[in-house]
Amino acid sequence: MKKPPEIIYLNSRTRKNLKRKGAQYCLSKRRKLKVLGFEYIKAPEVIDLYSPQNYHRTLSFLDEIEQRSSLNSVMLVFSETERISAAALLLIFSRIELITKRLAKTCIRIQSSTLNSAVKKAINMSGLVDMTLNRKPRHNKANWTLPIIKGTAEGEEFESVVDHIIENIIENCTAEMERKVGSAVSETVSNVKLHAYPSADNDSNNKAWWLMCSEIEGSLYLAIYDSGVGIPKTIHKRSWISDFIVNSAPHLVKAWTSHRDVDKINISMEAGRTQTKEKKHGKGSKSIRALVEETPDGKLWVFSNNGLYQIDENSAIHLVEHESSILGTLVQWNIKIRD
């Protein structure tokens, strides 16, 4: 008896998944395909940073883009990609922009015909395709998602983010919610401006950050990435943090001497302040943590170099040390702003 098409498809997918089970995304073993001068690079099935396996595959994909694009023009193929998360998309956008800036003759393109509907929508709304084509991103003001915005240490671009949130997302929220969101957004950008790039380089263009913001099903999603030195590299240079540990948190002494990046992030978050002695910026992670912990279903992720600090929807803290570095810091928080 002939099997129905849906059974044949299901069996085929099952065999494929079993065959791929446990497989590692290894760029050195991938077959190179070159067409019309472009070297084709296939993206992973799931592009995100939340599970260790997907984190590794996503960073390996970025490493492959960087390696291949230094030698050839590359075409990114998403025919096997079923899902892409906001944080991973932000990272891909920023890393590709950094690559094209560093390598003037680099040509990176996206094969749009290989995008499925959900992935295509996310990539198009982010402005990634426009960026690779050197086009100005097109923003539909009726849409609650901003294209990814690139800012600098000067921070003027921050105003457009605040305006977008106030005018399009939290316009019908309570005054208290507006205040909390405003403080957290301001703090998110200020932390990058003040601490991601501690070197003496005064060129603000070399101190970039990338931010994306959207509302999905009543929740505000905001993520920001910088390619700076990372929280773990600066924490020992802040004398007030060592004073905080000695005077208020002796249980963090072991973390202070640890070689794990995630322990340094944990100290920074525990201190509840930014990595600075300036009082006007003294609340640091306090506003973001309070917003996430006091809001239903609030979540926070802080990726910095090899570490991940996460607060889940139940306010539980999770610490993860990855084998590979995100090459900077990425902070994402989600909060429920309306039912």
The count of domains in the chain is 2
Whether residues 124 and 251 share a domain: the answer is no
Tokens of 62: 């970025």
Whether residues 100 and 150 share a domain: the answer is no
> What's at 336, amino acid-wise?
K
**Per DSSP, what are the bridge partners of residue 220?**
215, 335
Three-state secondary structure call for residue 289: helix
Here the CATH number for the domain that contains residue 101 is 3.30.70
Whether residues 159 and 266 share a domain: the answer is yes
Confidence check: pLDDT of 196 > 50 = yes
Question: Is 17 a member of any domain?
Answer: no
User: What's the pLDDT band for 337 if we cut at 50, 70, 90?
Assistant: confident
Whether residues 282 and 224 share a domain: the answer is yes
Whether residues 81 and 148 share a domain: the answer is no
Phi and psi of 314, rounded to 5°? -100, 15
Q: What percent of the chain has pLDDT over 90?
A: 38
Whether residues 67 and 165 share a domain: the answer is no
Instruction: Please state the rounded mean pLDDT for residues 230-250.
Output: 84
Confidence check: pLDDT of 20 > 80 = no
Domain end point (choices 136, 153, 170) = 136
Whether residues 101 and 214 share a domain: the answer is no
Whether residues 244 and 202 share a domain: the answer is yes
Whether residues 332 and 276 share a domain: the answer is yes
Instruction: Please state the rounded mean pLDDT for residues 67-90.
Output: 94
Whether residues 124 and 151 share a domain: the answer is no
User: Residue 204 has what pLDDT?
Assistant: 55
**pTM for the complete prediction?**
0.81
DSSP string, 209-274: EEEEEEEETTEEEEEEEE-SS-HHHHGGG-HHHHHHHHHH-GGGHHHHT---HHHHHHHHHHHTS-
User: What's the pLDDT band for 278 if we cut at 50, 70, 90?
Assistant: very low
Here the CATH number for the domain that contains residue 236 is 3.30.565.10
Confidence check: pLDDT of 293 > 50 = yes
Whether residues 156 and 288 share a domain: the answer is yes
Domain that holds residue 241: 143-339
Whether residues 176 and 296 share a domain: the answer is yes
Average pLDDT for the chain: 80
